[in-house]
Amino acid sequence: MPVHSLDLLDLPSLARYRRDVLPLDSARTLTRGNPLGAAALFSYLNPRRHIYTAVSTDGAVSFVGQIAQQYGETFARLSFLAPSAALNGGEIALLDHLAAQAGEWGALHLLAEVDEQCMVFKSLRKSGFSMYAWQRVWRLTDALANEGRGMWQMPSSTDMLSVQSLYCQIVPALIQPVEPMPRQPAGLICRTDTGLQAYAALTSGPAGIFIQPFVLPDAVCVPESLAALLREIPNRNGRPVYICVRSYQA
């Protein structure tokens, strides 16, 4: 099955599949919107990000897929596959091609987030993907915004050592290569008299805010602190807020 890099002749396919796309990166989709939407096209202008889109043809169907890698990361992510309605094994050659491209970038891992009931899950397994965690994503309601106040604050540069120590206590060593350690104070911390209790990593975009929490199993400021997050997020401007919890977090 021929596979090639996206070119100008393939642009009509992108427009046709705009409403038939399977997102494979939860944080990016929830903060940036449809990966084939107009806003996503501006990502190509980001010099700190590798982005590669490829097309494969299987009879009358053309499959489109994309991978992306942030500057300095040792892994890449599958952004999307399309058309979602036709994904039933014919996209395996495309997946193999995208994995090879990620390898050329120096990525040690290629990540995809997909429901186990989705047809493409089988294709990912056949292409060599293996499961490393389950996750659930909730949208926080504004009814929580008035619960708990002043529990979160922006971390200082000196707080990052405590944040990284918290990360190492929670994230298993096997997962750490694909769950990067926080290195910049881009989030919020919850602290009590006994020390750092939780860190909420924030990913923001025009469509929403995505929270990846790291919480001590015996933390004393949960769930009240999670309820207070909505109020404490800086520059929220009415955007929806999502929180993701992975299976390795007790």
Task: For residues 137 and 115, give the distance between their C-alpha atoms in angstroms, rounded to a whole number.
Answer: 12
Q: At residue 33, does pLDDT exceed 80?
A: yes
Closest by CA to 80, choosing from 96, 63, 93, 56, is 63
- Average pLDDT score, the chain: 85
- Span 30-49, average pLDDT: 67
Regarding predicted confidence, which is higher, 167 or 142? 167
* Structural domains in the chain plus CATH codes: 3-131 (3.40.630.30), 137-246 (3.40.630.30)
Task: For residues 111 and 113, give the distance between their C-alpha atoms in angstroms, rounded to a whole number.
Answer: 7
Q: At residue 127, does pLDDT exceed 70?
A: yes
pLDDT score at 59: 75
Among the residue ranges 34-43, 190-199, 218-227, the one predicted with the least confidence is 34-43
pLDDT band at 30 (very low <50, low <70, confident <90, very high): very high
Q: At residue 45, does pLDDT exceed 50?
A: no
Residue 97: enclosing H or E segment and its boundaries? helix 92-104
pLDDT score at 167: 92
What's the N-to-C CA distance of the chain in angstroms? 44
pLDDT band at 226 (very low <50, low <70, confident <90, very high): confident
pLDDT score at 90: 87
Per-residue pLDDT tens digits for 3-13: 888 887 777 77
Per-residue pLDDT tens digits for 161-196: 999 999 999 999 988 888 888 888 789 998 877 788
137 neighbors 26 (Cβ within 8 angstroms): yes
- Span 127-140, average pLDDT: 91
Q: At residue 86, does pLDDT exceed 70?
A: yes
pLDDT band at 112 (very low <50, low <70, confident <90, very high): very high
pLDDT score at 65: 93
Task: For residues 94 and 98, give the distance between their C-alpha atoms in angstroms, rounded to a whole number.
Answer: 6
Cβ neighbors of 55 (< 8 A, separation 6 or more) are 3, 4, 5, 6, 10, 13, 62, 63, 64, 94
pLDDT score at 64: 92
pLDDT score at 200: 92
pLDDT band at 17 (very low <50, low <70, confident <90, very high): confident
